[in-house]
Amino acid sequence: MEVIVECRNLKKRYFQGSVPVDALRGVDLQVEKGDFVSLSGPSGSGKSTLLNVLGGLDNPSEGSVKIAGQDLSQLSKGDLADLRLQRIGFVFQAYNLIPVLSAEENVEFILQLQGVGAAERRQRARMLLAQVGLTGMESRRPAQLSGGQQQRVAVARALAAKPSVVLADEPTANLDSATAESLLSLMAELNQESGITFIVATHDPRVIAHTRRRIVLTDGQIDQDVRVSEDEMAPAV
Amino acid sequence: MNRFLLLLPLAWRNVWRNRRRTLITLAVVAVGVWSILAFSSLLEAWARSSRDASLNLLTGDGQIHAQGYRDDPAIQHSFATPPADGALVKVLNGSHVSRWSGRVRTPGIVQSEFKTLPITLVGIDPERERGLSFIATSVTQGAYLSGTSGNGILLGQHLAHRLGTGIGKRVVLMGLGMDDALAQGGFRVVGLFQAPRDMEDSVVFIGRAAAQRLLKAPGRLSEIAFKAPTQSDLTPAIQALRKAAPSLDIQPWQILQPLTKAVSNLSDGFVMVWLWIMFVLMALGIVNTQLMSVFERVREFGLLQALGLRPGDVMREVLAESCLLVGLGVVLGVLAAVMTVGALHDGINLGFLAKGAEWLGAQHVLYPRIDGTEYLLLSVVIWGLSMLASLWPSWRAGRYSPQEAMSRT
C-alpha cells in the first residue's frame, strides 16, 4: 500500500515560560492510503500537536515528516502552504469556516486558490455539499448554519481539494450525539467509498468506534496502535 | 497579482463585517480628502486672485526691458521701439502672446499749486492697455486718456486728494530727460482712477508719445508688458522672445514680482501642511481600524493559512481591505469636494470683508476651480500614503504562524 503520511522519531518541545514541555517524545508512524486512523489519549497526550506537525502547521523540534513522499522540513513557509492547499484537508473543532462566505463559497474558496475554473468550482462545490447532505443550504453563511452543518461544510471543503489526507482535530467536540454520529458516518462513508485517508484526533469513544486503526498516545508517545476488523467498527448510520 | 484579485471579493466582505467601524473610517477618510481638496481649491483661488490682482496692475505676465533698467529705471535705460516687421514684434503678435503694449516708465515728480510729490510717470498707449492692465477700467471720475500724444493726465484718487487737485486742473510733471537734463511739462487732469492705495499714490498715466516728448526720448520705450493666453504659454513665450531679442532683458512675472510668486508658493505650502495634518489623522484612524480588525481575526488568519494561503497572501488580503476602504473613502471625498467647489463656481464674494481681502492682496470675488489633475494627484497621494500606513497591520496579520494563530482564544 502507498504510504501517505510518514514520520520518524518525531519530537516537539514547547516552553511554558522557561519550563520545557515535551509534547511529542519520538513518534514513529506510517499511515497508508485509505486508512481511517484515530489518535486518542488523555488531554496533553500530544494528539493535537501531532496533528499540527503532520499538517505542517507547526514545526517539529526533531525528526522528520513526509506527506505523500515530501519531506516537510525541506519546505519553506510558502511551500508548506502550497502543500496544505494541494495535499491536506483540515477539519477543526471550531472556527472552521470563513464567516463572510456562504457554505458554497467556503468550499469554492479552496478550489479558487487551486486555480480551478468558475464553472467546475461551482459544480464540485454543489456536488460535495450534496454529498454531505447540505443541498439547499449552499447560500447560507456560517452564522445561519448549526454546528453540525458547519462541520459538514468543513468536511466538504476539506474534500474539495482532493487531498491525500484529511486531518480532523476533535471534529465532534462541539456537537450533540446525533449530529456527531451523523458526521462520523459521513466521514466513514467517504473513507470507504472514495478511499480518502482520515486521521482524526479525538478522545470521543464514538469517533474511535468508527475508525479502522486506533492509535493511543500517552505522554507524547504511541502507547497502542491497533487495527480492528470491519466487524469491530461501528456501523455507518 | 492574481492572488490579490482573487482575494478582493473576500476583502470587500470583510470590510463590511463591522459596518459601524467601517462607516466611521469611511467618514474620516472622506472628510479628510474633501477638506484637502476643497481647501486646495480655495487656496488656489485666493493665490490666483492675488496673482491676477497683482499682475493686472502693470506687470502683466512678463516684461521686456533694456539691460540695467530693473536696477535703475531711468529713461537712459530704455530701448528703441521694435520695428513692426521685426522678429520681436512677430513673436509678440504670435500665438504665445495674447496682448502687449510698450510703455515709457520712469521716476518723476508731480507738482500742484499746493504740493510736490514723487511718482512714477507711465506713458501708455491707452487702447493697447485694455485687457492688459487695470487702468482702462479703473477711471472712476472724468475720462480715460483719448490718445498717446495729448496732454491729459490720469491721477489716482488719493494722490489727487493729497495734491489738492481735481478734474480739469493742471499739474506739472518733472523728470530726468534723455539728455540728463531736468524735463518738465504741464498736463491737465482728465481722469481719476481707483486702485490699491499705494498704486493710487505712486503712479500717474499720460500718453506714451507725450511722455517721449516730455523726456526728449522719441521712439524710446522703458518696457513692453505682455500677457500669455495661459500660464503654460508663458515659458514658450519667454523663450521665443529671448531668442528674438537676445540683447533685451525679458523676464516672467515670477522674477518681476517675487512677492506674488511667494504668495503662490505659500498657498501650495498651506495645502501640503493641511494634507499632512489630515493624513496623520486619517492614518491613525485607518491603522486603528485595521489593527482592531486584525486582532479580532487572528484565528481566522490561522485558518486561512491552514487552508493553504501563504503568509504573504494573508498580508495582501488585509492590504486589499485597506485598499478598498480607503479607495471608497477617497472617492466619496472627491465627490463631496467636486460638489462643494462646483456649488461655489459662481464665486465667493468677499465684499463683506473687502478690506481684509485687499490686505491679503486678493480681489473681492474668489472663483474656486476643480483642477482635475491636482485632484487626481492629491487623491492618489492620499491613497498611496494610506496604503503605506496599512502595511503595518497587514504585516502583523501575515506574521502569525498558523498554529500560533489558531491556538489564540
Q: What is the mean pLDDT of chain A?
A: 89
Residue-wise pLDDT for A81-134, tens only, equals 999 999 999 998 876 899 999 999 999 999 999 889 999 999 999 998 998 888
Q: Are residues B288 and B356 in the same domain?
A: yes
Using the Cβ of B1 and the Cβ atoms of chain A, whether some distance falls under 8 Å is answered with no
Residue B3: the pLDDT is: 74
Residue B7: the pLDDT is: 87
- Please, are residues B133 and B56 in contact by the beta-carbon 8 Å criterion? yes
Cβ of B305 within 8 Å of Cβ of A78? The answer is no
Judge whether residue A65 has pLDDT over 80: yes
Structural domain for B317, as ranges:
2-54+261-406
Pick from A223, A222, A196, A220: nearest CA to A212: A196
Residue B128: the pLDDT is: 95
Using a CB-CB cut-off of 8 Å, the residues of chain B touching A82 are 308, 310
Q: Are residues B385 and B337 in the same domain?
A: yes
Q: Are residues B241 and B267 in the same domain?
A: no
| Domain-embedded: residue B175 | yes
Residue B355: the pLDDT is: 56
Residue-wise pLDDT for A50-63, tens only, equals 999 999 999 999 99
- Partner residue facing A84 (CB), from B299, B308, B401: B308
- Cα–Cα distance, B55 to B281 (Å, whole number): 38
Which single residue is written with the C-alpha cell 463683506? B352
**Beta strand A70-71 pairing with A3-16:** unpaired
Q: How far is A55 from chain B (nearest CA, A)?
A: 8
- Please, are residues B242 and B88 in contact by the beta-carbon 8 Å criterion? no
- Cα–Cα distance, B217 to B277 (Å, whole number): 58
Residue B352: the pLDDT is: 63
Can you read off the three cell numbers belonging to residue A73? 522540513
Q: Are residues B117 and B239 in the same domain?
A: yes
- Please, are residues B161 and B112 in contact by the beta-carbon 8 Å criterion? no
Listed residues B213, B247, B281: the one ending a domain: B247
CA-based radius of gyration for chain A: 17
Q: Are residues B360 and B293 in the same domain?
A: yes
Residue B285: the pLDDT is: 84
Q: Are residues B168 and B75 in the same domain?
A: yes
Using a CB-CB cut-off of 8 Å, the residues of chain A touching B402 are 57-58
CA B344 to chain centroid, in Å, comes to 18
| Domain-embedded: residue B209 | yes
Using a CB-CB cut-off of 8 Å, the residues of chain B touching A90 are 306-307
- Please, are residues A178 and A184 in contact by the beta-carbon 8 Å criterion? no
Q: Are residues B195 and B223 in the same domain?
A: yes
Per-residue pLDDT in tens (0 to 9) along chain B, 409 residues = 577 788 888 999 999 988 999 999 999 999 999 998 998 888 888 888 888 888 888 899 999 999 999 999 999 999 999 999 999 999 999 999 999 999 999 999 999 999 999 999 999 999 999 999 999 999 999 999 998 989 999 999 999 999 999 999 999 999 999 999 999 999 999 999 999 888 999 999 999 999 999 999 999 999 999 999 988 899 999 999 999 999 999 999 999 988 888 887 887 788 788 888 888 888 888 888 888 888 888 888 989 999 999 989 999 999 999 999 999 999 999 999 999 999 888 878 776 665 555 555 556 678 888 888 888 988 898 888 888 888 988 888 888 888 888 776 5
State the angle between helix axes of B311-343 and B19-54 in degrees (0 to 180), rounded to the nearest 10.
50
Q: Helix, strand or coil for residue A106?
A: helix
Using the Cβ of B90 and the Cβ atoms of chain A, whether some distance falls under 8 Å is answered with no
- Partner residue facing B308 (CB), from A52, A99, A113: A113
- Cα–Cα distance, A167 to A152 (Å, whole number): 14
Listed residues B247, B273, B308: the one ending a domain: B247
Residues facing residue A166 across a β-bridge = A89, A198
Q: Are residues B19 and B157 in the same domain?
A: no
**What total of structural domains would you count in chain B?**
2
- Cα–Cα distance, B342 to A41 (Å, whole number): 73
> Taking CA atoms, what residue in A is nearest to B405?
A57
Listed residues B215, B247, B279: the one ending a domain: B247
Cβ of B312 within 8 Å of Cβ of A78? The answer is yes
- Cα–Cα distance, B43 to B271 (Å, whole number): 8
Query: What residue ranges in chain A does DSSP mark as E strands?
Result: 3-16, 19-32, 36-40, 62-67, 70-71, 88-91, 165-169, 197-201, 213-218, 221-227
Residue A83: the pLDDT is: 93
| Domain-embedded: residue B319 | yes
Q: Are residues B76 and B43 in the same domain?
A: no
Using the Cβ of B343 and the Cβ atoms of chain A, whether some distance falls under 8 Å is answered with no
| Domain-embedded: residue B220 | yes
CA B226 to chain centroid, in Å, comes to 18
Confidence band for A18, pLDDT divided at 50, 70 and 90: confident
| Domain-embedded: residue B61 | no
Residue B280: the pLDDT is: 86
ipTM of the complex model: 0.88
Q: Are residues B272 and B394 in the same domain?
A: yes
> What structural domains and CATH numbers belong to chain A?
33-60+74-232 (3.40.50.300)
Cβ of B310 within 8 Å of Cβ of A84? The answer is no
Residues 6+ apart with CB under 8 A from A106: A97, A98, A142, A153, A157
Using the Cβ of B110 and the Cβ atoms of chain A, whether some distance falls under 8 Å is answered with no
Can you read off the three cell numbers belonging to residue A56? 505542517
Residue A194: the pLDDT is: 82
Q: Are residues B79 and B217 in the same domain?
A: yes
Q: Are residues B174 and B293 in the same domain?
A: no
Using a CB-CB cut-off of 8 Å, the residues of chain A touching B14 are 100
Instruction: Give, for B182, the enclosing helix (H) or strand (E).
Output: strand B182-193
